[in-house]
Amino acid sequence: MNANDKGVSLSFLEEAYEDTPEPALVQGLLQTFESNAQSIQAKPVAELLSRVSSAPQKYAPFFGRVSQMLQLDEQEVEKLLSDDGFKRSPLAGISYKTCNSPALTKGLAGTVVRFQPKTRYPRHNHAHQERLLILEGGYTDDSGTHYGAGDLHVMDPGQEHDFVIDPDGPCVAVAVADEKLQFSSPFLRILARLIGR
Amino acid sequence: MNFHLGTRQHSAVSAETGHFGRPLPLSLMTHAPRAPSFFSVRFRATASTMWTDEELVEKMTRGDQAALGQLYERYAADIGRLTVSLLKDAALAADTVQDVFLEAWHRADQFDRTRGTVRAWLIVKARSRCLDRLRARTNKKEVSLTDTGRGKIGSVEQSIDAMHLPEALMHVSPEERDILLLGYFEGLTCEEMSQRLGIPVGTVKSRTRSAMEKLRNFWETQS
C-alpha cells in the first residue's frame, strides 16, 4: 500500500495502524488529496534552464561562497559576476575584473578572471596565500592536478606554479591573490611593473 | 551537458578542505588528469540518468545546470500539485514551481541530507513561496479594502487551510491535519513526524488514527 500510482508515500498510515488500514479509508484520503490537488502542466525544463544559462544567474550556486571569499554581500557578488566590465589583460586569452572589497587583507585583491580555452597562465608565485574558486570550466596545473567547477584551489605563499586551461571551453574563476603577482620570467616581471600589475 | 563531472571526485577533496580555509595537504593532491576519451564520455552520459537526488544537488553546488534540469524533471509535477493546491491558480502555481527550483539552484549548498530528503527540502521551499504569494495577495486586498494592517502571518496560514483545503480536511483538528499533510506531501514516517513536530511517536499514531476516523465519519455522512 506504500503508494499510489504517483509514487506518493503513505507509509505513515501503515505504521499508525497495527493491522493494515482499511483500503477504503486510504483510497478516500488519496482521492481527497487528488481532487484538491489537480496536477498542473509544469513549464518546460528548457524555460527553467534558460533562466540559469547566462551570467550572473548561471553562477548563482557560488554566490554564497564568493560572498564569503571576497567579504561582499550577495547583491554585490551578483553584480560582480555579470558579463560586462571585463578588461583585457596584457596576457593573451585572459580578461579580468577587479572588485573593491575593503575587508580583504592589505596587499590582496579580489578578481574575476576569464580564461580562453587552452590559455597557459605563466609561472608565478605569491607573497600571500592565493585562493582560486572555479565557477566554470577547468584547468590542469603543472603537477598534473585537474581543477574544475566548484573546486577551491589553495596555493601557499611562495608556491610557484603555472596552469593550462582545458581545451573544451573557457574557464571563469574568482581569485583572492596578491595585488602584484611575482612572475618567474624576467620579461614578464618587467612588463608587470610597467603596467602596474 | 556536463558529462565529465565524474572526474572531479578527487578535486572535491580540495574543495572541501579549501572551504574550511585549511591549505590542502600535498598528500591529498592526487593527480587526476582528465581522460576525455570517447568511451568515458559515453559511459557517463548513460550513468548520468541514474544520479540520486542528493548527487544531483551536489552537482548543482558545482554549477551543473543539467543536474538542475534533471531534478526539475523528477519533481516539478510533485511540487506543482502542492503549489496548485495551495494557490488554486494554475499559472501562478507553475511560476512558483520555477521559483522553487531557482531558489534550490541558488541555495544548493545549504541542502543538508541529515535534515531530510531532497524532496522534503523542495516541498518546504514550495510551501514558503506559496505563503509569500498568499501574503502578497492578502496584503494587496487589505490595502484596498481597509488600512487596519491585519494580514498577519498566522492568519494567512490559517486561510490556506480555510480557503483551499477540501471540506473533508476541515473535519479534522489542525494538529491532525498537519500529520496528514506531512505524511502525504512530504512522505514522512511516523518517527520523522515525531521529530519534526516535537511530539512522541505514539501521539503521531493516535492522531493519525483519530484523523482517519473523522474522515471516515465525514465521508459516510456525505454518501
Q: What's the CA gap between A93 and A97, in Å, rounded? A: 14
Assign B173 to helix, strand or coil. Answer: coil
Q: Do A149 and B98 touch (CB under 8 A)?
A: no
Please, are residues B147 and B214 in contact by the beta-carbon 8 Å criterion? no
Closest-CA residue to B184 (of A31, A17, A23): A31
Which residues of A fall within a CB distance of 8 Å from B94?
Answer: 40-43
**Residue in chain B lying closest to A58 (CA):** B63
| Between B124 and A62, residue with greater pLDDT | A62
**Which whole-number Å values give the CA distances from B156 to A12, A71, B131, B151, in the listed order?**
28, 37, 7, 7
Helix H or strand E segment including B57: helix B53-60
Instruction: Tell me how far apart the alpha carbons of residues B63 and A150 are, in angstroms, rounded to a whole number.
Output: 7
| Helices within A104-196 (DSSP H only) | 186-195
pLDDT at A172 over 90: yes
Q: Shortest CB distance from B80 goes to which of A35, A39, A59? A: A39
Q: What's the mean per-residue pLDDT of chain B? A: 70
The string of pLDDT tens digits covering residues B157-181 is 443 333 334 566 677 887 887 788 7
Test A40 with B81 for CB contact under 8 angstroms.
Answer: yes
| pLDDT in the model for residue A128 | 81
> Is A114 in a helix, a strand, or coil?
strand
Contact A137, A115 (CB under 8 A): yes
Lowest-confidence pick of A59-63, A143-147, A151-155, A182-186: A182-186
Q: With an 8 Å Cβ cutoff, are B15 and A138 in contact?
A: no
Q: State the average pLDDT over residues B40-64.
A: 75
pLDDT digits (tens, 9 = 90+) for B101-115: 999 999 999 998 887
pLDDT digits (tens, 9 = 90+) for B68-80: 999 999 999 888 8
The neighbour count for residue B136, using CB atoms within 10 Å, is: 12
User: What are the C-alpha distances in Å from B124 to residues A186, B16, B117?
Assistant: 58, 27, 11
CA A106 from centre of chain: 25
Q: Which of A162, A166, A97, A160 is nearest to A137 (CA)?
A: A166
Q: Do B11 and A9 touch (CB under 8 A)?
A: no
- Shortest distance between the Cα of B53 and any Cα of chain A, in A, equals 15
Compare CB distances from B23 to A6, A53, A154 and report the shortest one's residue: A154
> What is the tens place of the pLDDT at every residue in A74-99?
999 999 999 999 999 888 899 999 88
Q: Which three cell numbers stand for residue A108?
A: 590582496
- Please give the pLDDT value at position B149: 35
Which residue type, as a one-letter code, is found at position B210?
S
ipTM of the complex in this document:
0.76
B121-135 mean pLDDT: 82
